[in-house]
């Protein structure tokens, strides 16, 4: 580099050096100030003497809310059900169905069900009905024939037979009279010797025969009137009643066959499902029990049972949220409580609601979460906006308590010791435990009834200062005996170290162990296929991590934890007696 180039480079280097010095001066000043502060007596701080965060006691509005998840649904649904009888089958298959969300008018076809089996039944039943109709007609003819036969004998055949016998009697009487006269004349001739004795005997025999024939004819008439007529009338009456009974039986059979045919035809008509009202089609799909064989999927090709809801026509002007409240909080929920609703689809929208119904019994849960009890709670949406639609996911905040202008502190500022509550406060260079009386809690704040005033400073992490507080001696209590949620107890045992994300908490493991013990019928510490419910025996392979054909407690816990993680369910410890969840 020549002399001229070096002369031009020197000013540039000098400028860069000045800028570096200017930038370094503030840093040097900060470091020097820090060293000086640490070297001053009384100002150096160690980790043991580091002051905790303090909270200034103040008044404010106390709000206690229950937060749960739910789904938007219509409070007034026109449910369209499958009215086709199952006929000893698993159900009726959906052939066609309008797309979900379609707006339909009254009378429009919504769904078409498979009617092929019913068509076959209709053809068979038509043949059976025709045969029974023919038998009914024959039975009717038999009844009429029996009635005619009865009249025919009573007013026809009997009269003819009676007249014939009467004629026979008259003829016999005439023959008998003539025979008697001829016998008398023969006797006169025999006395005079004109005829022989043999001829006289022949005339006597003819007279006796005529008398016998007359008696026989008279007896025949008597038998006809007293016995033959009564017997024939009874027989004909019996034939008529038998024909009438057969007619009734055939009539009942035909009516049964005809009603069966009409039922089949009506079932075929019900395979075409029409809208009873105007509305928007919403499938009655239920996937809450997915993976456990109880889910309901509405689609073409799916089977639907008799009386099963296929679609709903919701009223968009009357919407509600169906939320599930955990049993640890259900005692706080009441009808008429105010609620706020936030929709996942519209994060910036907050709706107002009112608790309309709290079920008294828990909702059905899956086998894996049998120890988690949740109660269906209906929250009516006030002034439903037009953008609401069934099925939207929602977060419901039910306001269970609201007190204005009350004294409150964060729950971490309160500790429990021997059944009494304390806050940690400065007393000069020492810490003292101030006894307080508390009210309700919402897991974040605790109401203060006595012991503190507005403006008092209390330590935020009171549990960390427990050893520095001069608290009275108390007997050791069982771990976890706390009256307020979030308030540390007086149990001197160390807290459970934090576990990895997704691991079960101690109370979760206890719940899993209890459910495992209920399922372990032979108490051998493992579950095999015979101990699992029939509908869940097929899941053994997926739960059996070590592939030994059995499920132990660790595999059971892992499976329940995975399920709870997917479903959003949580195993929770029971609430303490202090009113907090």
- What is the residue-level pLDDT of the chain in tens, covering all 581 positions? 444 444 444 444 444 445 443 444 444 444 444 434 443 333 444 444 467 899 999 999 998 888 999 999 888 888 999 999 887 888 899 999 999 988 899 999 999 999 999 999 999 999 999 999 999 999 999 999 999 998 998 889 989 999 999 999 999 999 999 988 888 888 888 888 888 888 889 988 998 998 899 999 899 999 998 999 899 999 999 999 999 999 999 999 999 999 999 999 999 999 999 999 888 898 988 776 544 456 788 999 999 999 999 998 988 788 899 999 998 888 889 899 999 999 999 988 899 999 999 998 888 766 666 677 889 999 999 988 878 888 889 999 999 888 999 999 999 999 998 889 999 999 888 899 999 999 888 888 999 999 999 999 999 989 988 888 888 887 654 444 445 666 666 544 433 333 333 333 444 445 556 667 667 767 677 877 777 665 555 566 677 777 777 888 778 777 777 665 544 444 333 333 333 33
Q: 265: which residues sit within 8 A by CB, 6+ positions away?
A: 122
In the chain, count H helices and then E strands.
8, 21
Tokens of 154: 């009573």
Question: What are the residue boundaries of the structural domains of the chain, listed by start?
Answer: 52-76+316-478, 78-114+271-314, 118-263, 506-567
What percent of the chain is helix, strand and coil (3-state, nearest 5)? Answer: 40, 25, 35
Please tell me the predicted confidence (pLDDT) of residue 511: 55
C-alpha–C-alpha distance, residues 346 and 392, integer Å? 10
Please tell me the predicted confidence (pLDDT) of residue 533: 61
Please tell me the predicted confidence (pLDDT) of residue 554: 79
The whole-model pTM stands at 0.49
Which CATH superfamily groups domain 506-567? EF-hand (1.10.238.10)
Which CATH superfamily groups domain 52-76+316-478? Efflux pump adaptor protein, beta barrel domain (2.40.30.170)
Choices 2.30.30.30, 1.10.420.10, 2.60.20.30, 2.40.50.100: CATH for 78-114+271-314: 2.40.50.100
Sign of the CA dihedral running 98, 102, 106, 108: negative
Classify 57 in phi/psi space as left (phi over 0), alpha (psi -120 to 50) or beta: beta
Sign of the CA dihedral running 349, 351, 357, 360: positive
Which value, to the nearest 10 degrees, does the dihedral of the CA atoms of residues 79, 84, 89, 95 take?
-80
Q: 87: which residues sit within 8 A by CB, 6+ positions away?
A: 117
Q: What CATH code would you report for 118-263?
A: 1.10.287
- Residue (of 79, 425, 121, 419) closest to 279 by Cα position: 79
Tokens of 413: 């500022």
Tokens of 144: 């009429």
C-alpha–C-alpha distance, residues 282 and 73, integer Å? 10
Strands of 272-274's sheet, edge to edge? 272-274, 109-113, 92-97, 303-304
Residue appearing with tokens 């480079």: 9
Please tell me the predicted confidence (pLDDT) of residue 547: 76
- Residue (of 234, 247, 56, 265) closest to 150 by Cα position: 234
């Amino acid at each position: 580099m020549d002399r001229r180039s070096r002369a031009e480079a020197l000013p540039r280097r000098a400028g860069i050096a000045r800028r570096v010095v200017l930038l370094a001066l503030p840093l040097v000043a900060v470091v020097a100030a820090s060293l000086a502060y640490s070297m001053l007596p009384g100002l150096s701080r160690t980790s043991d003497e580091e002051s905790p965060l303090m909270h200034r006691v103040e008044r404010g509005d106390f709000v206690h809310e229950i937060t749960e998840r739910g789904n938007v649904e219509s409070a007034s649904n026109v449910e369209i059900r499958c009215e086709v009888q199952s006929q000893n089958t698993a159900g009726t298959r959906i052939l066609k169905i309008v797309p979900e969300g379609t707006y339909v008018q009254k009378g429009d076809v919504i769904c078409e069900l498979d009617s092929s089996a019913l068509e076959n039944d209709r053809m068979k039943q038509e043949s059976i009905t025709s045969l029974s109709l023919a038998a009914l007609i024959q039975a009717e003819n038999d009844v009429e024939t029996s009635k005619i036969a009865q009249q025919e004998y009573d007013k026809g055949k009997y009269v003819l037979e009676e007249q014939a016998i009467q004629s026979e009697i008259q003829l016999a009487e005439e023959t008998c009279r003539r025979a008697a006269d001829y016998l008398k004349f023969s006797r006169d001739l025999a006395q005079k010797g004109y005829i022989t004795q043999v001829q006289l005997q022949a005339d006597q025999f003819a007279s006796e025969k005529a008398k016998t024939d007359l008696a026989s004819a008279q007896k025949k008439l008597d038998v006809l009137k007293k016995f033959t007529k009564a017997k024939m009338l009874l027989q004909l009456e019996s034939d008529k009643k038998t024909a009438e009974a057969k007619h009734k039986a055939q009539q009942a059979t035909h009516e049964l066959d005809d009603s069966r045919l009409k039922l089949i035809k009506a079932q075929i008509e019900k395979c075409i499902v029409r809208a009873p009202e105007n509305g928007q089609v919403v499938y009655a799909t239920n996937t809450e029990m997915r993976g456990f064989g109880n889910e309901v999927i509405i689609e073409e090709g799916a089977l639907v049972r008799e009386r099963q809801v296929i679609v709903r026509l919701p009223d968009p002007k009357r919407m509600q949220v169906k939320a599930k409240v955990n049993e640890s909080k259900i005692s706080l929920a009441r009808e008429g409580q105010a609620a706020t609703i936030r929709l996942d689809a519209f994060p910036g929208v907050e709706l107002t609601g009112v608790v309309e119904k709290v079920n008294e019994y828990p909702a059905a849960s899956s086998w894996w979460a049998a120890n988690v009890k949740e109660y269906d709670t209906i929250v009516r949406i006030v002034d439903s906006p037009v953008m609401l639609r069934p099925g939207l996911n929602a977060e419901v905040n039910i306001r269970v308590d609201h007190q204005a202008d009350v004294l409150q502190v964060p729950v971490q500022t309160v500790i429990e010791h021997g059944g009494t509550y304390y806050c940690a406060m400065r007393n000069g260079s020492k810490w003292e435990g101030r006894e307080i009386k508390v009210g309700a809690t919402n897991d974040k704040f605790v109401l203060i009834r006595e012991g503190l005033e507005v403006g008092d400073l209390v330590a935020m992490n009171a549990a960390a200062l427990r050893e520095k507080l001069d608290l009275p001696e108390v007997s050791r209590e069982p771990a976890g005996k706390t009256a307020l949620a979030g308030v540390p107890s007086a149990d001197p045992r160390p807290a459970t170290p934090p576990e990895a994300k997704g691991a079960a908490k101690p109370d979760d493991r206890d719940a899993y162990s209890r459910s495992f013990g209920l399922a372990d019928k032979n108490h051998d510490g493992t579950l095999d296929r015979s101990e699992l419910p029939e509908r869940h025996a097929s899941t053994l392979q997926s739960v059996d991590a070590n592939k030994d054909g059995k499920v132990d407690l660790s595999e059971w816990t892992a499976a329940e934890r995975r399920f709870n993680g997917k479903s959003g369910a949580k195993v929770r410890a029971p609430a303490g007696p202090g009113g907090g969840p």
